[in-house]
Amino acid sequence: MKLLSICFYLGLMLFSISMVSVYLSLIFYSSSFTLFLEWEILNFNSFSMVMLFLLDWMSLSFMSVVLLISSMVLFYSHSYMKGDSNLVKFIFLVFLFVVSMIFMIMSPNLISILLGWDGLGLVSYCLVIYYQNNKSANAGMITILSNRIGDVAILLAISWMLNFGSCNFYFLPLLYSNSLMLILLFLITIAAMTKSAQIPFSAWLPAAMAAPTPVSSLVHSSTLVTAGVYLLIRFSNVINFHFVLFVIAVSTMIMSGVGANYETDLKKVIALSTLSQLGVMMMILSLGMVELSYFHLLSHAMFKSLLFLCAGFYIHSMGDCQDIRFLGSLWIGSPIISLFFFASSISLCGFPFMAGFYSSDMILEFFFMGSMNLFMLVIIYLATILTLMYSIRLMAFVFMGLLSYKTVVNKQDDLGMVLPMSILFILSIVGGSTMFWTFFPQSFIYLSFYMKIMVLISLTLIFLFVMNKIMLKSYITKSSFFISLMWGLPYISSMMFINLLHSGLKYLSFFDQGWLEFFGGKKSYSLMTQKTGYIDKFNTLGVKNYLLFFLLVSVMSCQFI
């Protein structure tokens, strides 16, 4: 009982700090105020190692959203994790995860960013393997190895920034040309792509669903996967327009959208929708629209965390069943949770006046207003349609399906879970409009009649396609199996890492435990002990050696005289 109260009080503390951060972010935004807190740790030659914290409206508002969602997740875990034998470890890991993300948010210095960046990767691995079975062990391995690629890129970026005399990247674009920053930009982009699971590093995101559902809500809404997007937002002065990142982001949108329409695991469908929205953020960020990407990052965090918590309640109440084909008519047993699930799903679709509508609609309209490539226009429009398709398909399985034996044992709404989800439900409705009126108060976009009529045509096609028996029954064919496996990325990623591990094992057996063992430490140690043994024998003189030494000294002294 004391552990559950610790979970409650810790969530209350994070909620209070988030409210203070919201207040400060509004003050900083209205007054255009930025605060730097600097602590010089080491000064070596011309290079200074500085712990620097940046407080502006962007970092404070993002920190407030992270802390708010973290507090709701802890309140939710008060009921969800009740009876768990490792509750202390769970609370400790979640708190470390939040602290690592705060380090990442407030740091404009790559060295201090590395603390939060490595902390996110390490703690996420500990959370993925929380249940300690084969599935979670494999998922944790691919998660940590994929994230280590980004960690190495950050370390190389720190080494490259020694050329500039400092790891503070905030003012570097003002002091140096873009040609000198090209290598730094490449390394930071690779790091952001690994953390935000862009192609070809997308395989770890659905695999990380092996973690407990409250952790999935925290990781895949506002912390781990958004760290890469936030890092590129901080480097936006260097990036400007990035065509390669644009193509990768659009490909990720299509791949995840198509895969989600064939997936039958409830959590993996939501994870693939997260991957699709990360592609949207990267896409608009590569076009230079930093504020819109940040706006969609915040609005997505609100409704996606609620969507995961609703899925966690369904899984928890129906005997850990995650297959959507065994679900149906869940609104009968849990109407309030079903209302939350429906609201977050339509917010994900971009339903008018929900949280997701303001950011996603502005992103599409700004893209349509620019000088568009016709092929990319069709691809982005198709990716948007796929988002609506898998959301409608998921709601069709969950709400309109027939009663199954799993639905019969469905539990009633839990008050300990409903209260934190109610706050996220309110944010999923009014959060987008509040941020829109605060940060984009005078945005008005006028599009042509043909652009608007495309919406009506696409909605009709979506309705006909989703209601098709093939989509609802999900027959397994070779093509659908390939598409549902994210174009084979899990196999490719696993094969790549397995080959690297096998090559490491060969190196260990042939070199470290073989030739290096013979010519290295053990051999050199044995040779040194053997040679120094002669000196020890000479030091321990016997009577004969002493007389011989005395005779030699006497003869030499006589010759000298």
Tell me the DSSP string of 201-256. S-THHHHGGGS-HHHHHHHTTTSHHHHHHHHHHHTHHHHS--HHHHHHHHHHHHHH
Of residues 510 and 430, which shows the higher confidence score?
430
More confidently predicted of 375 and 1? 375
Q: Are residues 248 and 367 in the same domain?
A: yes
Q: Which tokens is 114 given?
A: 């590395």
Q: Which residue has the tokens 């407080």?
A: 55
Domain boundary among 422, 442, 473: 473
Q: So what's the pLDDT on residue 410?
A: 52
Percent of the chain with pLDDT over 90: 0
Q: What does the alpha-carbon distance between residue 358 and residue 356 come to, in Å, rounded to a whole number?
A: 6
Both tokens assigned to 273: 């929708």
Distance CA 88, CA 538 (A): 63
Give the per-residue pLDDT at 118. 85
Q: Are 252 and 396 within one domain?
A: yes
The arithmetic mean of pLDDT across residues 80-95, rounded, is 78
Which sign does the torsion angle of CA 370, 373, 378, 382 carry? negative
Q: Which of 205, 238, 271 is the last residue of a domain?
A: 238
Boundary-marking domain end, from 210, 238, 266: 238
Q: Is the domain of 255 the same as that of 385? A: yes
Looking at residue 471, its pLDDT comes to 47
Q: How far is CA 313 from the centre of its chain?
A: 23
The predicted-structure confidence for 193-208, as pLDDT tens digits, reads as follows: 888 888 888 888 888 8
What residues form DSSP beta bridges with 44?
Answer: 47
Question: CA 40, 42, 46 angle in degrees (round to 5)?
Answer: 100
pLDDT at 361: 78
| 136 located within any domain | yes
Does 302 lie in the same domain as 351? yes
Question: Do 224 and 150 belong together in one domain?
Answer: yes
Asked whether residue 134 falls in the same domain as residue 272, the answer is no
Domain span holding position 287: 241-473
Given pLDDT bands bounded at 50, 70 and 90, which one contains residue 474?
very low
- Flag whether pLDDT at 240 surpasses 70: no
6 and 70 inside one domain: yes
**Taking the alpha carbons of 419, 424, 429, 435 in that order, is the dihedral positive or negative?**
positive
* pLDDT confidence tier of residue 470, bands split at 50, 70 and 90: very low
Q: Is residue 363 part of a domain?
A: yes
Alpha helix (H) ranges present in 400-507?
405-408, 415-439, 449-466, 469-473, 478-484, 489-507
Q: Are residues 426 and 306 in the same domain?
A: yes
Strand 47-55 with 35-44, pairing: antiparallel
Decide: 433 and 358 in contact? Cβ < 8 Å: yes
Q: Is residue 171 part of a domain?
A: yes
Interatomic CA distance for residues 118 and 97, integer angstroms: 10
Distance of CA 55 to the CA centre of its chain: 22
Pull the structure tokens for residue 376: 């990319």
CA dist 394 and 324 (Å) reads 8
Are residue 245 and residue 222 in the same domain, yes or no?
Answer: no
pLDDT category of residue 472 using cuts at 50, 70 and 90: very low
Nearest-angstrom CA–CA distance, 127 and 211 = 6
Asked if omega into 420 is within 30° of 0 (cis), the reply is no
What's the rounded Cα separation, in Å, for the pair 220 and 258? Answer: 19
Q: Please give the pLDDT value at position 512.
A: 66
Q: How far apart are CA 487 and CA 234, in angstroms?
A: 31
Closest CA to 86 of 195, 191, 203, 215: 215
pLDDT above 70: percentage of residues in the chain: 73
pLDDT of residue 197: 81
| Domain identity same for 36 and 59 | yes
Q: Is residue 486 part of a domain?
A: no
Question: What is the mean pLDDT of the segment spanning 319-333?
Answer: 74
**How many structural domains does the chain have?**
3
Which has the higher per-residue pLDDT, 45 or 322? Answer: 322
Three-state DSSP at 498 gives helix
Residues 55 and 107 in one domain: yes
